Amino acid sequence: MVLICPCFRKMGDLEDINHHIHDRITSIKHMLDLSVIELPQNKMKKLGQELFALERLLEEFEKGVDQQKEQLKHLKELDEVFQKYLQDGQHIKDNIPPHMPRKKGPLKGSEPAINQKEAVEVPPAEKKHSKSFVREMEFVTMPEFESIPQYMKGRVTYEQLNAAVESINAAVAAKYKIVHQSIKTLNNHSRKLHQRFKDQETKDTKGQYFVVEDDIREFTQMKVDKRFQGILNMLRHCQRLRELRGGGLTRYMLL
């Protein structure tokens, strides 16, 4: 806020200030014009007061100009910051990743206690449909991707890694859709797959979701090659899956 003398506060705008200064200068000029003759002592005192007042007025005016310059500097800095935020926001809007990581639920064993008043018994009809639930692998976040050692990442990009997550999720969903269906509703090919899935299960896979390489080939367009094995290593590093070997199979179990 600009501080000015009391006479300034009574004025509405710069035009009034200009008139005020002009009147002061005119008064001083008149006194100087009369200085050719000998002025009374009181007139000389009046002239000195007018000059002093004008000097104070100009000092206050200069202070006001300096303060306005400082405010203008701060406004320009704020405008630069605002423009940067605007550009960042536009960049985020134009580059929204196709795979948005979801918030993970509480870790096993750390679930908060449920108030008995809040607990609701699930009707049998709804429990029956719980088989349709299929667990999905969480997408990898950028900080997690950056934590992967470079030798492990190779040339795989963040987008390619999450595209692989999406493909694995698709394979899991397709596999367990068949597993959860009644055999009577399946065609011959699906029945063979259903039996194969059941044969691959062990006591260690009970209640877990997993896929094998044949499932990736069956339900996705991904190539099961050396690059795919590298992606699996990255997902293990990010704690998205673990391997379970046995019976000549490697099972990739979702965590």
Question: pLDDT, tens digit, for every residue of 47-97?
Answer: 677 777 777 877 777 787 788 888 888 898 889 898 888 888 888 877 776
Give yes or no for a contact between 137 and 169, defined as CB atoms under 8 angstroms apart.
yes
101, pLDDT greater than 70 = no
Q: What is the pLDDT of residues 141-150, one digit of tens each?
A: 999 999 999 9
Q: Distance between CA atoms of 154 and 168, rounded to whole angstroms?
A: 20
pLDDT over 60 (residue 207): yes
DSSP letter string, 27-80:
HHHHHHHGGGSPPPHHHHHHHHHHHHHHHHHHHHHHHHHHHHHHHHHHHHHHHH
Residue 11 has pLDDT above 60, yes or no: no
pLDDT in tens, 23-55: 777 777 766 665 555 556 666 667 677 777 777
CB distance 172 to 253 below 8 Å:
no
| CATH superfamily entry for domain 128-254 | Ska1 microtubule binding domain-like (1.10.10.1890)
- Six token digits for residue 227: 């690059």
State yes or no: pLDDT of 3 exceeds 70: no
- The end-to-end CA distance of the chain, in Å, is 60
108-139: pLDDT as tens digits: 443 444 443 343 444 444 444 356 678 899 99
241/233 Cα distance (integer angstroms)? 9
CB-based contacts of 68, cutoff 8 Å, min separation 6 = 2
> With the CA atoms of 106, 112, 116 and 120 taken in that order, what torsion angle do they form, in degrees rounded to the nearest 10?
-10
